[in-house]
Structure 1
Amino acid sequence: MRIIVIDKAEIQKFPPVLSVLYLLSDLGYPVTLISGGATPEIQKQLRLRKIDFHLWPSPKRTGDVNKVLSYFRFHSYTCNILSELKEQTNDELLLWVAGAHTCLSLGSLIRRFRYVLQIHELHETSMVMRKAVRRVIHGSEAVFMPEYNRTVLYRIWFRLSKLPVVLVNKPYFLPGQEELFSLREKYREELVRLRGRKIVIYQGYIHKERDLSNFIRAVKRLGSEYCTLLVGGDAGALKSYQAIANDVSRD
């Protein structure tokens, strides 16, 4: 059996998916990644681990029309890759579908295969994303979510026969000395600016659905000795947080 990990987003934006990819490979499964991108460092690691990967050249253009088109184009790209894989191997293919955005893009294509889902967010404010999940969640062989409370809500919302499996957001590997040195060099200026201050860290997706405004205001009230450091991908909310406190940093 070959496991095909599929994530429409750039893989570095969702470390839990990257951890799954490495874990499956180390367990001895042949693994292929189909993703919206990967950093050069991650591509190097994939080659070292002999993990096949196909990176969709996601468009850099912004705007609602281009966003919608990107879902159709990733669907077409993934469909072509899966067709090629079916012709090249006699192995059964199991899809590991990561994120509601990937469910939305692939649609009914998912149901042509055996598959499991790895859902990160509740998407309580997005009817579109919940509908995308609803179309495929009952045919999934397993559903993974990052924490218990979300599994309970999904069981209720989608009337599942059992709770999804909790797959906690923990790194599967630790960086080596070379990687740590590279990170120090990359963030040298930021580290100098933060030196001597007490840092309050938020790690996760920076999105308006996770409103951090009051959190940032509270840190600001503690005085200049404290500052807020946001670690994660920005989905458009960062500017509003920096308007509250101009020393808010993101890495």
Structure 2
Amino acid sequence: MPVSLRKPSTFQQYKTLLRKDLEQEFRTKEMLTSMGIYALLVLIVFGAALGQTTDGFNLLQAAGGLLWTLLVFTSLLGLNRSFSHEKEQGCLEGVLLVPLDRSVVFLAKATSNVLFLLVVEVIALPLFYFFFLTGVPLGSSWYLLVAPLLLGTIGMAGIGTLLSTITVNTRGKDVMLAVLFVPLTFPLLYACASATTAVIVGADGFMDVFFLSSVLAGGYDVIMILLSWVLYDFVITA
């Protein structure tokens, strides 16, 4: 009797692709290691630059911007490598031969990028605090940092996954990704940096700034991730 093969569900396809990315990274640890070392090097550069400032320099007001500068540069390094294995080993062509919804590839890759960025942030945030904020009184609501960090990470991973797919076959893909990534994520970075600074400083009225910036970041995430999801089928097959 002929055996009928049932097509896996969309969720099963998503789990399979996500598990592939996670197992590959945790086996090699190339992406996490390079991002962690790069974050440490950026912190050292920040430390050398800020060591020349005067006593009147308000580090708390600059902390949000410095933190997001660190996260953006570290994210760019990771996003540049997110499709390196698929491109070098020909896995991307194999995935495209499978009859599956191309948006599932986007969701799985974006999810893995979010998880990798969160792991690096868990390492980088204590280092950032140790380098710059030790002994500096923080706002009483410092735990609210989770919101802008999570919103920013999701947004950067979503749009970064789309852009890394666009630039994977281009010459000078590292530069092209940065040229496209920074302008497109500027509204998100501005909102997240504002929310982060408001939480760290904790001055009067910081909750208004925090709430408005978080809403703007959340709206950006929803719009850009939906747009990336819709366009991904065209981008990956172009």
TM class, shorter-length = under 0.3
More helix by share: 2
More strand by share: 1
